[in-house]
Structure 1
Amino acid sequence: MIDIKKIVLILFCCINLYSSERIVTLTPSINEIVYALGVGKDVVANTRYCDFPEESQKVKKVGGYASISLEKILLANPSVVIAQNYDEKLLSNLKNLNIKTLTFKTDSIKDINNTIFSLGNYFDKQQKAKELISNINNSLTSLKSIVKNKKILIVISPKKTLSNQIYVSGNYLYFEDIIKASGNVNAFQSKSKAQPVVNTEKIIKMNPDVIILLAPFFEGKTKELEKVKKLWLGLPINAAKNKNVYAVDKLYAGIPSQRVVYFIQDFKKILENVRDK
């Protein structure tokens, strides 16, 4: 005689077995988007730099940006690995092992929105994805007509000295999209897609009207950050003369995820401050 209860129990277990994903995320931005879509509970491994939201810090780690362990990924037994297009060798190895891998770019605002949209479809979280994308687009629209035609320079991870190795945002990152959406221009101009590295002489020649220091590693270190700003205020440029040197010391400042909205809000406040002087 067929035991109906046992059959129902087996079917229930099978449904649950195949209904939940085992997700491995390989960059902070991808990790944040996955959690924002509401499927963070299915993340079984990520990298040591995936520290937002807080619960993702407790997830097993498979390495860092340049030290991701294929063995640790395999031990996590993922149903899907979600990555960015950085480590071609790793991605190739995953493909050769028949591990489902989704790869995305988050260089531009369009890329970020496309990543959210695609992952929203994959996880059947279309409504949440639509909401996140709408928040980004609306925040960009809010930047219009505050100030115009200012040359804005965004400095990435400023140091305690104005050395010759100064990293700035080029013309192929999402910061460029934010600057353009506000009706202003990037003080740095180049057709190269490589990470721009400049010196003080180059910055003086650019003569930016506004400087924004992306300084997440100075969060909570107010005195140290003020010393760094003072260095920039000492340069013979318009931004220093008009005291338009600002800093964003939050960890989200350099992460191209849905949290770009928070940086755009900070950017808006900076523009309003420039306008009101």
Structure 2
Amino acid sequence: MLLKLLFIFIMAVQLSAVERIIALSPAANEMIFALGEGDKVVGNTSYCNTPKEARSVTKVGGYFSPSLEKIVTLSPDLVIMQDNNPPLTQKLIQLGIKTIVIKIDTIDSIKKAFFTIAKPLHAEAKAAVITKKIDKSLMGLRGIVQHKKILIVIGSPTDLSKEIYVAGQNLYFDDIIQASGNVNALQSSRKGQPVLNLEKILKTNPDIVIVLAPLMKERHLTREMILSPWRDLPINAVKTHSVFIQEGDYAGIPSDRIVLFIDDFGKILRESKH
């Protein structure tokens, strides 16, 4: 029933002018701005900090806990959100607020989301430019190194005896690894967030480790603090000095800035050859 209601509201959005948009995730917010429609954003979350113009937009709460009251007060023509809060989606629709829900787990779904958002904004041409740029960036990864097992670690752990969060095969990280001609060191069909322990890290024996550390400075961590726990591990990545840190926050925000992470990924692959 909810899917049917969503279809009806998306069709209604496409038939009417959109002037007041609320973005309920950093990715949705960045996509709107990337499409050249940022001046229509009247509300977003407290985590929507890019581009800088988004910081002065009225905040409606956090990513997981936006205020329905604040949303309604802003009288939006359109709310754009991710598929992480079905109860809120249903409430918005019941209130007659036009709502678009995007899924951005994979590269294909990210590109599709751009066109889904672009359609009611009549910005399809811009969406095409952005998605082609993503494809071009992915093509640029081919042939740098191949057939390597790559492990992407999330959260910059400084103690590997505790839980280690990694990128599984259900996210865009895996698409990027595959596009480069390499494989995800973690071969698992698990849909949830994969969590490994030290024993499993040793078993996967990755050739390249990439630690995502967007909050490194906020947590007062140094590169040495992040890299030192890996140095004594008997894995290929350590033997070939192929444990790397990626600091950009854009790694975890799948928008047009995904090309920045793809470029970082390419640089890491090139560095791993030396």
TM-score by length of 1: 0.90
> Equivalent residue for 1:57?
55
Moved over 3 A (4+): 219-223
Give 1:163 shift.
3.5
> Equivalent residue for 1:205?
203
1:35 to 5, 29, 33: 33
AA at the equivalent of 2:49: D
Unaligned runs of 5+ in 2: 1-15
**% identical aligned pairs:** 47
| More off after superposition, 223-232 vs 144-153 | 223-232
> Equivalent residue for 2:268?
270
Give 1:65 shift.
2.1
Q: 1:118-139: per-residue Cα shift (whole Å, max 9, x none)?
A: 2222211122111100110000
> Equivalent residue for 1:109?
107
Contact 2:215 2:247 in 1 (8 A): yes
1:78 to 55, 76, 79: 76
Give 1:159 shift.
2.1
Give 1:248 shift.
0.7
CA distance in 2: counterparts of 1:223 and 1:164, whole angstroms = 17
Give 1:221 shift.
8.1
Aligned residues: 259
Give 1:189 shift.
1.1
2:89 to 88, 91, 96: 91
> Equivalent residue for 1:66?
64
> Equivalent residue for 2:169?
171
Alignment of 1:210-229 (within 5 A): 210-219=208-217, 224-229=222-227
> Equivalent residue for 2:7?
none
CA distance in 1: counterparts of 2:135 and 2:245, whole angstroms = 23
Larger Cα Rg: Structure 1 or Structure 2? 1
Give 1:254 shift.
1.1
Contact 2:46 2:62 in 1 (8 A): yes
> Equivalent residue for 1:48?
46
CA distance in 2: counterparts of 1:19 and 1:121, whole angstroms = 11
CA distance in 2: counterparts of 1:149 and 1:220, whole angstroms = 35
| More off after superposition, 120-129 vs 256-265 | 120-129
CA distance in 1: counterparts of 2:165 and 2:26, whole angstroms = 20
Q: 1:130-177: per-residue Cα shift (whole Å, max 9, x none)?
A: 110011000000111111110000001112222421110000000000
CA distance in 1: counterparts of 2:259 and 2:55, whole angstroms = 22
| More off after superposition, 75-84 vs 218-227 | 218-227
CA distance in 1: counterparts of 2:65 and 2:101, whole angstroms = 18
Contact 1:158 1:167 in 2 (8 A): no
Alignment of 1:7-22 (within 5 A): 19=17, 21-22=19-20
Contact 2:167 2:194 in 1 (8 A): yes
- SS of 1:140's equivalent in the other structure is helix
1:153 to 147, 151, 154: 151
Give 1:225 shift.
2.2
Unaligned runs of 5+ in 1: 1-17
Q: 1:81-120: per-residue Cα shift (whole Å, max 9, x none)?
A: 0001000110011111111000010000000000112222
CA distance in 1: counterparts of 2:220 and 2:261, whole angstroms = 19
> Equivalent residue for 1:236?
234
CA distance in 2: counterparts of 1:185 and 1:177, whole angstroms = 9
> Equivalent residue for 1:3?
none
Contact 1:219 1:249 in 2 (8 A): no
Contact 1:219 1:250 in 2 (8 A): no
TM-score by length of 2: 0.91
Contact 1:233 1:239 in 2 (8 A): no
Give 1:220 shift.
8.3
Contact 2:60 2:66 in 1 (8 A): yes
Contact 2:82 2:103 in 1 (8 A): yes
> Equivalent residue for 2:254?
256
| More off after superposition, 212-221 vs 262-271 | 212-221
